[in-house]
A and B are shown apart, each in its own frame.
Chain A
């Protein structure tokens, strides 16, 4: 249990179906750790049990040294673990900037009465928030889209906006659920560069779930492979690529 995020023998059962069976993963601080596996392997189930959407039937999950069992999703975010979604869950009717501002809801330092009276405290906090929005949009290269409605963005920009929105919550770790799915080659390169920048410049750890191998192999420090709910391999990209069990899982025997 030395990592920033540790899963210890996590098991998730849905009735008689064992979706995840005794999986242990350790994500170290400041690293990019990928979780891969064929469709239905249990990747998204693992993510959902980490973020509190499901509660595991067995095992334990620790984040930053504290157990995550029974912690509500919004509390998990406030502890420094933020996620993105497989099919993007942006607030489509809000502007790009307001999407990012929602990410700062939990860290904004003013209360309800302050908000209603638009007190000095509220205005100062909002000015800070707007400034931070600019910085975050700069990071994901969306600074020129501040006022665009989120639903009007093309997919690649939506993905980057989700990233910026997640960063707004000031996380120690990001959980990215297929951030590169459906992206074109040039967009994938851009995504890789962004992920590496988050790790190297901001020191954010990333748990990445994806099928897109150019991303997984291009950015990961470590890779965990799951199949049918079991962990079948773990190691550096090189180790995993040459692992016979992994090749069998992807290509069949």
Chain B
């Protein structure tokens, strides 16, 4: 166990490296790091709802779409700047996620997975068919992020914007995990009947977890769209939702570091494979199976000994 000062020193060193990154990294590396930052916001939602609360969701990409389309459409139709519409879209999507949670959490396990799958399908069909609003299959240009007259569009500007947002989001999630809510999510995954008898409103807690997860997806999706600059329905299919969950399994569902590792895999693997991209499905499947067999708790277990989900007083 590292002591507190050591952890703090490493944390500060890490922040300095991240802050200084654009000074010595190539544009390509900056773009990738930005993508990892925004993707880790999306996957951190899954550490709450699936990792902690144990509810499987395949709708994460659909909630990203709500954030990305919501922010851009509000901005382009009503002329509200993106720095306002992104948080607004995040909050609205969190509410939608909460409602989906309330409606669908009467069902459990495979049935819940199917409900979220259906929801993801409906959202994607909605994007394709509401062409007047969303641009349909053609897509829709993303409004640029302009902050009081300063447009943040360069890779470096987006890097800082995404990195700061990701750090704040992950900080919030890690706080939540250590709070009574995190404990309630963790408890209800392990025994619903015991949680209930101890005063945890299980159904409400699950819906709250869903709402938070959806909100994080929306924030990550909206920030990501600033970088891709174009909204294409193909980015938000059921398959993407399944991929988010799969990289989380590789990274480690049970801990927040798994969300960062998962996001890195999600972004770096296609880039790393380059010309061999055709084989990506195959390599990805092999990696997933290998992880399930060798380290069921994910890469986070192998890579780091530091347990984010463990309370500081844990001895073993």
A152 to B313, CA, bound (A): 16
CA distance A98 to B184 in the complex (A): 10
CB atoms of A101 and B313 under 8 A apart: no
Q: Known contacts being A115-B181, A146-B313, is A91 close to B197, with CB within 8 Å?
A: no
Please tell me which one of the listed residues A94, A98, A102, A115 contacts residue B200 in the complex, with CB atoms under 8 A apart: A102
In the bound complex, how far is the Cα of B195 from the Cα of A85, in angstroms? 12
Separation of A104 and B184 alpha carbons in the complex (Å): 10
Of the listed stretches B82-90, B143-151, B171-179, B283-291, chain A binds B171-179
B315 engages A147 (CB within 8 Å): yes
When C-beta atoms are compared, the residue in chain B nearest to A79 turns out to be: B199
Q: Does B198 contact A (CB under 8 A)?
A: yes
B191 interfacial by beta-carbon distance below 8 Å: yes
Minimum distance in angstroms from B186 CB to a CB of chain A: 6
Contact of B316 with A by CB under 8 A:
yes
In the complex, which of the residues A51, A74, A78 has the most CB atoms of chain B within 10 Å of its own CB atom?
A74
A74 near B202: Cβ-Cβ < 8 Å = yes
**Contact B176 A51, beta carbon cutoff 8 Å:** no
Among A24-32, A105-113, A203-211, which stretch is in contact with chain B? A105-113
> What chain B residues lie within 8 Å of A169 (beta carbons)?
198-199
CA of A98 to CA of B316, assembled, Å: 14
B255 to chain A minimum Cβ distance, whole angstroms, is: 12
Known: A98-B183, A116-B176. A105 touches B200 (CB 8 A): yes
Contact yes or no, B313 A91, CB < 8 A: no
**Interface flag for B129 (CB, 8 Å):** no
Output the nearest chain B residue to A109 by Cβ-Cβ distance: B180
C-alpha gap A33/B198 in the complex (Å): 21
Whether B313 pairs with A97 at a CB distance below 8 angstroms is yes
| A74 B186 Cβ-Cβ under 8 A | no
The number of residue pairs between A and B whose CB atoms lie closer than 8 Å in the complex comes to 119
Are A122 and B179 in contact, CB atoms less than 8 angstroms apart? yes
Interface of B is mostly: helix
Docked-complex contact A115 and B316, CB < 8 angstroms: no
B208 within 8 A of A: yes
Q: Complex: how many Å from CA A122 to CA B180?
A: 9
Q: Are A101 and B180 in contact (CB under 8 A)?
A: yes
The residue in chain B whose Cβ has the minimal distance to the Cβ of A106 is B199
The answer on a CB contact under 8 Å between A103 and B193 is: no
Interface membership of A89, Cβ < 8 A: yes
Q: How far does the Cβ of A165 sit from chain B's closest Cβ, in whole Å?
A: 7
Q: Is B299 an interface residue (CB 8 A)?
A: no
A106 to B193 alpha-carbon distance, docked (Å): 15
Contacts of B275 in A (CB 8 A): none
Q: Is the CB of B198 within 8 A of A106?
A: yes
Chain B residues with Cβ below 8 Å from A90 are 191, 194
Q: Are B200 and A106 in contact (CB under 8 A)?
A: yes
Kindly provide the distance from the CB of B59 to the nearest chain A CB, expressed in whole angstroms: 21
CB distance from A64 to the nearest CB of B (A): 15
Give Cα distance in the complex from A149 to B190, angstroms.
Answer: 13
Using A74-B199, A147-B314 as known contacts, say yes or no to A91 and B181 having CB atoms under 8 A apart.
Answer: no
8 Å CB contact of B198 from A53, A105, A147? A105
- Inter-chain CA distance A90–B176, complex, in Å, is 22
Contact, CB under 8 Å: A147 / B313: yes
**Chain B: minimal CB distance from A79 (Å):** 10
Q: In this assembly, does B125 line the interface, its C-beta being within 8 Å of a C-beta of chain A?
A: no
Indicate if the CB atoms of B193 and A147 lie closer than 8 Å.
no
B197: chain A residues within 8 A (beta carbon):
51, 73-74, 76-77, 82-83, 85
Pair B179/A126 contact, Cβ less than 8 Å: yes
Q: Which of B187, B201, B310, B313 has the most CB of A within 10 A?
A: B187
Q: How far is the CA of A115 from the CA of B201 in the complex (A)?
A: 17
Chain A residue contacts of B198, Cβ below 8 A: 74, 77, 82, 102-103, 105-106, 165-166, 168-169
Q: Which residues of A contact B202 (CB under 8 A)?
A: 74
A117 x B175 contact (CB < 8 A): yes
Chain B residues near A82 (CB-CB < 8 A):
197-199
Q: Tell me, in angstroms, the Cα distance from A92 to B172 when the chains sit together.
A: 26
Q: Which residues of A contact B180 (CB under 8 A)?
A: 101, 104-105, 108, 110, 115, 126, 129
Residues of A within 8 Å of B190, CB to CB, are: 91-94
Q: Is A72 an interface residue (CB 8 A)?
A: yes
In the bound assembly, the distance between CA atoms of A110 and B172 in angstroms comes to 15
Q: In the complex, which residue of chain B has the Cβ closest to the Cβ of A88?
A: B194
By the criterion CB–CB under 8 Å, are A95 and B175 in contact?
Answer: no
Can you name 16 A-B pairs with beta carbons within 8 Å?
Answer: A73-B197, A74-B197, A76-B197, A85-B193, A91-B190, A91-B191, A93-B190, A98-B183, A98-B186, A102-B183, A102-B184, A105-B184, A115-B176, A115-B181, A117-B172, A126-B179
B residues with CB within 8 A of A:
172-173, 175-176, 178-184, 186-187, 190-191, 193-202, 208, 310-311, 313-316
Nearest first, the 6 closest Cβ-Cβ pairs linking A and B are: A106-B199, A115-B179, A89-B194, A147-B315, A77-B199, A73-B196
Query: Given known contacts A73-B193, A110-B180, A115-B179, what 4 new A-B pairs fall within 8 Å (CB)?
Result: A77-B198, A82-B199, A105-B200, A118-B179
